[in-house]
Copies of this chain bind each other. A is one copy, B any other.
């Protein structure tokens, strides 16, 4: 079995594992599944959870799409013609409680061909995972980063610092001068190079994905009984507005999906369920809300 087949199998298998564990954690809601086909080739399996005890809205989606390169990718890679295969898993969870962070993870693999059915002329992995807290519990953020770092360190000590910095740079609301959340890891265009062949990146990406549940569920368990009320809910809905701003203004993945005719409802499952935009809201500098903003404005190192 080659890397393409192995990774494709893995995304379906990890989708099952993650959904089962999330349903157990939620205890009330179940994922509903939509299989969809892409006219030009391939399709996907979207799984959405809504109105749960823990999860207000979330999606764990896999897709495997292939065919002729869409015009937008041809332009980006400056090629006149070409074929591709792309597959990946993408998940976003928006909890009910403002004390539990939103989480996002995505692992994907891409192959490019000069001719239909030919050998790949280029191939790479991309992905990452990042946390978006509303109220800051430093031990949660440290746990999340620590889990990501442990996986990366198994492969090479330079990976985590690099991926952490890329994550801070990528998930940044330029127009607000603040990060979307407290980061995690982000990587793209991991190609075969010197001692790091594609199998090396395959192992890294799948291990990162395999570690998702252990990076996030302990945080959910710790925070699910944390009390909250209307003021915390209000702040969460305002901050969810920033999440929407990032995804619709800056996120390359979202915009790319929308412009190349991806399935809209699967792409936009990442948007939070209830959101607010109020004018020019200010927070007391001593408040927990201001403390979060401080961290979003100057990203920190969370592990040594």
User: Does A277 contact B275, Cβ atoms closer than 8 Å?
Assistant: yes
Q: How far is the CB of A42 from chain B (nearest CB, A)?
A: 19
User: Does A244 contact B248, Cβ atoms closer than 8 Å?
Assistant: yes
Q: How far is the CB of A47 from chain B (nearest CB, A)?
A: 10
Partner of A57, one of B273, B274, B278: B278
Q: How far is the CB of A247 from chain B (nearest CB, A)?
A: 9
**A265 interface contact, C-beta 8 A:** yes
- Interface size class of chain A, counting residues whose CB lies under 8 Å from the partner chain: 20 to 34
> How many copies make up the complex?
2
Complex Cα–Cα for A265 and B177 (A): 13
**A280 interface contact, C-beta 8 A:** yes
User: Does B273 contact A276, Cβ atoms closer than 8 Å?
Assistant: yes
Complex Cα–Cα for A227 and B189 (A): 55
Which residues A18-76 have CB closer than 8 A to chain B?
34, 48, 50, 57, 59
Chain A contacts to B: CB under 8 angstroms: 34, 48, 50, 57, 59, 175-176, 237, 241, 244-245, 248-249, 255, 258-259, 264-265, 268-269, 271-280
18 interchain pairs, CB-CB under 8 A:
A48-B279, A57-B277, A57-B278, A57-B279, A175-B258, A175-B259, A175-B264, A244-B248, A244-B275, A245-B248, A245-B268, A248-B248, A249-B258, A268-B277, A272-B277, A273-B277, A273-B278, A275-B276
